[in-house]
A and B are shown apart, each in its own frame.
Chain A
Amino acid sequence: MGIQTHFNKFHDRIKLGRQDSAYKKARDRDDSIKGAVSSAFAAAGYPVVNDFIQGSFDTHTAIVPISGDYDIDRALVIDSAQAPANPVTPKKKTLEVLESRGFRNAKIKKPCVTADYASDNVHIDFIIYKRSPLNQLYLAVGKEHSDENNREWSPADPHGLTDWINDRSGYPTADAQAIQDQFRRLVRYLKRWRDEQFSPTVGARVYSIGLTVMVKQQLRHSFSMEGAPQDLQALRMTLDAIILFGGYFTPELAGRYRVRVPLPVLPWRDIFDGSSLDTGTQLYNKLDYLRRKLAEAEGLSDEREQCRILADLFGRDFEVPDPPKAGSKGRAVYPTAGIVSSSTGA
């Protein structure tokens, strides 16, 4: 057994797919509330013309939250001809519905309306777009009491971002799937690492999309000669690139750092726009520590030693195996096929 097997086990534990039952419950809650919001919009004269779930499911980078709170980014699209001029209007309508349906802490944030559903550990962000006749989406930006200067229908391209993340045209065709899979695993590892290593407040500002964009741009894939993934090396090399060549971190006074990661699609804004020096500094220092510890683990030959380091970084879902039992030598068990056709001769 090599270290990759442990990464695979870790990945199996943290990955979250659309069909996973833990997530299903959140989706059911989301579906019912979505229906209520849609009806309210229709009654107000701007019916929902399209809706989708934004974020990490379409990019296969979602992870099981350690807090147990499931996040859903629910996008609702209305037609631009029917949309109110004030982008905050549909957001207020959404807030009304949420409050009437028993959501806690419902509140209008700049890009969305956010709320926790108390009994189900579900956290839903409603994101409102209007759609122009040319299919351009505009995000409803603005807080409850924002004046005209601080609210707008801002051009956005959520599908373009998903496509950009899922794009593998830069990889050799035959290897693209394997490389993209490795990319997704690396993003999941980093997201779990963030959840483990940051306080909830700071962690909430280390945006998943920011990590995803950095990994996508700086990906250094790694595979054995036979094509077996080498996630440890790949993650370490990718982090090296992020820290050393990415240009995401600008040093400021007193060893502090500002982090900037521009969106790779419309509206090209900085994902970390408005984030504090404290966030940048913590992210820089922790990423740097992470890559050093990964390099240390790479240099070790003892698998359990390696796992101990990795468990410190990624948390308890990265399991440290029991010491091997002495003299356990038996027949190999072939878990997959019973018969395979062979292409050998002599």
Chain B
Amino acid sequence: MNRNRIRSCIEDLGCTARLTDGASKLVVEFIVQGRSVVLYHPFPDELLRAPQFYLQKGHGFGKLAHVLTTEDSEFGEVCIADSLSTVVNTGRPELAYRDTVAKHVELLTRLIEDPAYNREEQLREFDAHWKILCSGSGSITNELFVAWEGNEVERLQVRLPRKTKSGSGLDIRPPSAVADTSVFHLRPKSPKRNKAVRRARRIDHNAVGMRLTHLDPAPATKREVVAWFFDIADRIDCDGRRELERLHRGKGRDYWVIFSAPIPDGEAMFAIHWRRRSKGGLPRSVDEAEAGQWDARPYRVRALSRASLIPRGGGSLDLSNKSVLLVGCGSVGGDLAMRLTSAGVGRLTVSDTDKLSEENLYRHILSMNHIGRQKAEALAHDIGRKHPWAKVESWNRSLECLREPAALKQFDLIVIAVGSPNVERAFAEFCLEESLSVPVINCWLEGYGIGGHAILVVPGTKGCWHCAYVDPETLTPSLLPNLHFLAPGQTVMRDQGGCGTQFLPYSGIAAGYTAAMSADLAVRFLQGHVTTSSKISWKGSDMEANRQRLSVTWRFRHFTESLQILPLHDENCDFCGA
């Protein structure tokens, strides 16, 4: 990097720029409202992200958004954009510097000249500013996991972490704490250990979550937190006030007040932990707090909230009232179940009569410690731990035993992943005979990684189950789906030890593709984006099939619509009629 070229390039912007400390730092200066703004930049060894500039404190412009200052530093870190979303021209560093400085000038000028904008931006990044206040000793941040939706005033319990050196998952290490309303499965697996953990953890009951309708920018220093707290406490409405009053009359040493508030484009959640050595009620004013020697410690809140975590994970909240029955918890079904709840499906019933065996291990989503357990039950258990707001129920029933309209009518969708053509056919015929109104997805894969398929039948729309079973040559009903990629009449199953030990060779990857694709179809249907009977396939490679001397179908050779949702209707279907 030619630092002089960088310097002169920045001067072209109308700023003054100079190199200091043996040209290891760059100082840029420009004027806003007649006062000078000074930015520092220590040159990095390598330019891996946009150059970082620091604003010198004492500039007299007050607190500025996008300038993160800690109390012990004389510089504030300026953030112009998310480093993840900026690509730097490292081949022409002088241009990278010029553009970066230009952005700083633009941003800081606007923040200084437009106080309303500055305030809004401070609110927008409330969490970043609050986080700085929460820094404890060393690199540790005071954090609180909160399982609270942030809407209603709610009494919470705060479980303090064990004083051990490490924990896993939500067994959080100090100084983090957990506030929960017990929707969360925070208990460890064995009840024995659970007891030990309970004993080791102190549980504080003097905790309340309350909603603010309006928020001020975060205080600049920890010292200001007390006054800031009473400022916002004044604006709390009646329900919150009642709860606060309870804390004022409390007899504890620790009080936790957790707030949620709207900020531009989002929600903020943060907490303040009040504590002192002797027991007493939560102070009512700055004076009382000082007189009582109360310590108000800001805590960063990591919200375990349904409304924020489901969308954050790419799930959809409007699926939370949808109810899906998944029959078949094999490699495809197991993966599919997890993906459905991951997408936000709120109620899932999984059904299978099979137990997990060691043979399933390598392509099944379930882990070894479930071997011997009912697949459905184990799956419900695991999903509950992974997607805590999903209500998962398990049934120990096969598809043939589920031919019962009363049991099925409650579902918005039935997904069948049993890979058993005869039973699926019987079920499809049952649905037609009973005029069952619940839509059904059948999904399956073919051997040797050649592909997988799913069909969605929405009763009352064009296209029925039989549309997938029209022989393309004879145009008459066929026993095999016309979606297939391997030509009919070939032996695909592989034999391992004689009769009854046949298995279909396919990989966990093929199962995963099929599951993801089918889950996508299910989700699009549940969201109302797909409304008619449809089909979807993924096409893999025919390399392995070729090696096995298996021939492929016309559809395989000409298929270019992998993962596209296509109409299921086949004009040669006798059932759909003309």
A→B interface (CB under 8 Å): 1-5, 8, 172, 174-175, 178, 223-228, 302-304, 324, 329, 331-337, 340-346
Contacts and interface: CB of A to CB of B under 8 A. Distances in A.
Given A340-B489, A346-B443, A227 B553 contact: yes
B347 interface: no
Interface string B467-499: 001111111111111111010111111000000
Q: Top 6 nearest A-B pairs by Cβ distance?
A: A227-B554, A346-B419, A2-B571, A343-B492, A345-B504, A228-B472
Contact of A341 (B333, B489, B506): B489
B466 interface: yes
A324 B576 CA distance: 12
B557 interface: yes
A103 to B, nearest CB: 43
B421 interface: yes
Contact of A332 (B420, B491, B574, B577): B574
A342 B474 contact: no
A337 B565 CA distance: 30
B445 interface: yes
Contacts of A227: 472-473, 553-555, 558
Indicate the member of B444, B472, B477 with the most A CB atoms within 10 Å: B472
A302 B445 CA distance: 35
B558 A332 contact: no
Contacts of B577: 324
A239 to B, nearest CB: 22
Nearest to A339: B479
Given A1-B578, A2-B571, A303-B578, A344 B554 contact: no
B417 A346 contact: yes
25 contacts: A1-B475, A2-B572, A4-B571, A5-B475, A172-B557, A174-B552, A226-B472, A226-B483, A226-B554, A227-B553, A227-B555, A332-B466, A334-B476, A335-B474, A336-B476, A336-B478, A337-B489, A341-B491, A343-B484, A343-B492, A345-B506, A346-B332, A346-B417, A346-B420, A346-B514
Contacts of A331: 429
B559 interface: yes
Nearest to B514: A346
Nearest to B432: A329
Contacts of A2: 475, 570-572
Contacts of B484: 343
B418 interface: yes
A346 B572 contact: no
A345 B447 contact: yes
Given A228-B472, A343-B484, A1 B574 contact: yes
A344 B478 contact: no
A332 B470 CA distance: 10
Indicate the member of B328, B466, B470, B554 with the most A CB atoms within 10 Å: B554
Given A1-B574, A331-B429, A333-B477, A343 B483 contact: no
Given A226-B554, A333-B477, 11 more contacts: A172-B557, A225-B555, A226-B470, A228-B473, A332-B575, A334-B477, A335-B474, A336-B476, A343-B446, A343-B504, A345-B419
B346 interface: no
Interface in B55-81: none
Interface of B: 328, 330-333, 417-421, 429, 432, 443-447, 466, 469-484, 486, 488-493, 504, 506, 511, 514, 552-555, 557-559, 561, 566, 570-572, 574-575, 577-578
A228 B578 contact: no
B555 A226 contact: yes
Nearest to B483: A226
B490 A341 contact: yes
A334 B506 CA distance: 29
A5 B489 CA distance: 23
Contacts of B489: 337, 340-341
A346 B424 CA distance: 12
A337 B471 CA distance: 11
B445 A226 contact: no
B140 to A, nearest CB: 48
Nearest to B510: A345
B492 A341 contact: yes
Given A175-B557, A346-B333, A324 B475 contact: no
Given A225-B559, A346-B417, A5 B572 contact: yes
Nearest to B468: A226
A332 B578 contact: no
B558 A225 contact: yes
Nearest to A344: B444
Contacts of A304: 578
A330 B488 CA distance: 25
A334 B486 CA distance: 20
B550 to A, nearest CB: 8
Indicate the member of A1, A223, A343 with the most B CB atoms within 10 Å: A343
B502 to A, nearest CB: 10
Indicate the member of B446, B475, B483 with the most A CB atoms within 10 Å: B475
A51 B555 CA distance: 43
Contacts of B328: 346
Nearest to A305: B578
B474 A336 contact: yes
B554 A324 contact: no
B488 to A, nearest CB: 6
A227 to B, nearest CB: 3
Nearest to B416: A346
Contacts of B478: 334, 336
A324 B575 CA distance: 11
A265 to B, nearest CB: 31
Indicate the member of B474, B557, B566, B578 with the most A CB atoms within 10 Å: B578
A342 B554 contact: no
Contacts of B571: 2-4
A323 B332 CA distance: 44
A331 B575 CA distance: 9
Contacts of A1: 475, 572, 574, 578
Contacts of A335: 474, 476-477
A175 B473 CA distance: 13
B456 to A, nearest CB: 16
A19 to B, nearest CB: 21
A3 B570 CA distance: 12
Given A178-B554, A226-B472, A344-B445, A337 B506 contact: no
Contacts of A333: 477
A324 B578 contact: yes
Contact of A343 (B476, B490, B554): B490
